[in-house]
Amino acid sequence: MNKPLRRIAIFCGLLTLALLLRANWLQYVKADDLATDDSNRRVLINRYSMPRGDIIVGGRPITGSVKTEGSELKYKRKYLNGPMYAQVTGYASQSMGVTLLESTYDSVLSGTDERFAFERFTDVVTGEERRGGDIITTIDPKAQKAAYEGLTDLKARGSAVALDPKTGKVLALVSTPSADPGSFAGNSLKEGERFKALDTDKGKPLSNRALRETFPPGSTFKILTAAAALEHGVVTDVDARSDAVSPYPLPLSTNKISSQAGDAVCNKASMKTAMQHSCNNVFLDAAVKVGRDRMLETAEKFGYNKDVYAPELGDLRAAKSLYPGGLDKPGTALTGMGQGSLTSTPMQMAMVTAALANDGKVMQPYLVDEVRSPALNTLEKHEPKQMSQAVSSETAAKVRDMMEFTAKEGSAKRALIDGVTVGGKTGTAQRGVNVRDQVPYGWFVSYGITSDGRSVAVAVFIDPTAMDISREEISGGSLAGPIARNVMKAVLKK
């Protein structure tokens, strides 16, 4: 063979080898990634080739599937009370993809999970249509309804979260305004326009404020400040008068901070009185004395600065709640009253409240109780998991005593329920630098415990921007307190 032909032969051989290597790489190394890539049209066709499995609340499905005509995507998703459960289910849209539970458990719901291999085989043999598995949630339908209706009746942007303190079960998860995921479940032009309108709406109906957005927690954070002060020995007697003057001079600053209750009530008040009337000075002073490092340590034990919902539980991926490190004295003081650089999701404040109701134990929140195969076999069953012991049971009991006193004699009276031990704390949180030009947020956290030991913890957040209400009328107790009460009552009054 002459030299030019030999070179051409070698070059062609190398090209053939490269093609073989590439084909094997795609078929064996990248096969799974390509098979599950959302850009793969076959994935989409497979996902909607049969009715999806259901998401179950209170023993009943809140999802379903309907046949589509003239499309290779044979079925599309429908939702029962879609707006009320949108932050639980997420959406399964032929054109916009999948989110939240619809995404986390897509392989189960679409029937493609590897654990269904035997059932898929028997379906082929018997000629049965492939079926999806079901997701059993922890949501209490009455609590979810109470939270949703409470927020929508106010026409408020906001959210509400309810937890079982002993297990971490999410009993309610609501964000308003909301939207029906079924309204854009298909791939028609009209449905695409609906999604675009929702996505650009100033009210952000597709947002999940309970999990994905953070806000200054305001005075609700004072329950954590109180826990830190007691745990680290800065306060030993909650009934003893403090030396915190009102208005309180912010360290290293000429600024003085007053309390809405008035200087006469708050000047050198005890921590219990300060909780009752939400006196800023006592909690500013407590945070300074606890110090930035110990405040940070306590906050992190309650779940701040951590991915407490992931990766173990992908169904509850959430934004981190932040307690900044390296704060100076003024910054540390401001966190004592829930302001400054501190931010929190409503879920995080529900966790703090739940931990105090659970003797200081922080439980991992979870939204899915059980995963079932199409044959109704249990594939997964969630077991409660303790994340940390944030504070001692003695400290938690002292904070509960103050919260219960606040519910009976202070600003949290609107959460009281006959025959139930209730503790609560209101919050009004300023936002931005020009606070006088912006309406503050309203917060309310509470727990309820029955005589037989059943319990629930609730956090309600309200952004009154869209409401016809003056700045003076905004109060976590008046706006959010009744919602928290109704949610607790729905869970505990069986």
153 found inside a domain: no
CATH at residue 232? 3.40.710.10
Distance CA 455, CA 101 (A): 26
227 found inside a domain: yes
Q: Is the pTM of this model over 0.95?
A: no
pLDDT (0 to 100) of residue 424: 96
pLDDT (0 to 100) of residue 31: 54
pLDDT (0 to 100) of residue 310: 47
126 found inside a domain: no
298 found inside a domain: yes
Show Cβ contacts of residue 412 under 8 Å, excluding neighbours closer than 6 positions: 403, 406, 422, 423, 424, 425, 426, 444, 446, 477, 481
296 found inside a domain: yes
315 found inside a domain: yes
- Name the active-site residue from 93, 178, 183, 219: 219
pLDDT (0 to 100) of residue 316: 64
Tokens 């695409």, residue located: 192
Domain extent at residue 257: 216-343
Catalytic residue at 219?
yes
492 alpha-carbon distance from chain centroid: 21
Distance CA 365, CA 349 (A): 12
pLDDT (0 to 100) of residue 4: 74
Show Cβ contacts of residue 124 under 8 Å, excluding neighbours closer than 6 positions: none
232 found inside a domain: yes
pLDDT (0 to 100) of residue 126: 56
Q: Quick check: bond before 177 cis, omega within 30?
A: yes
Mean pLDDT by 10 residues, the chain (494 residues): 72 78 66 57 73 95 89 87 95 90 91 75 60 93 97 92 97 96 91 92 92 93 97 96 92 87 90 95 96 96 79 64 93 94 95 98 94 88 93 97 95 91 92 63 95 96 74 65 96 87
269 found inside a domain: yes
Q: How many domains does the chain have?
A: 1
Token output for 308: 């407490």
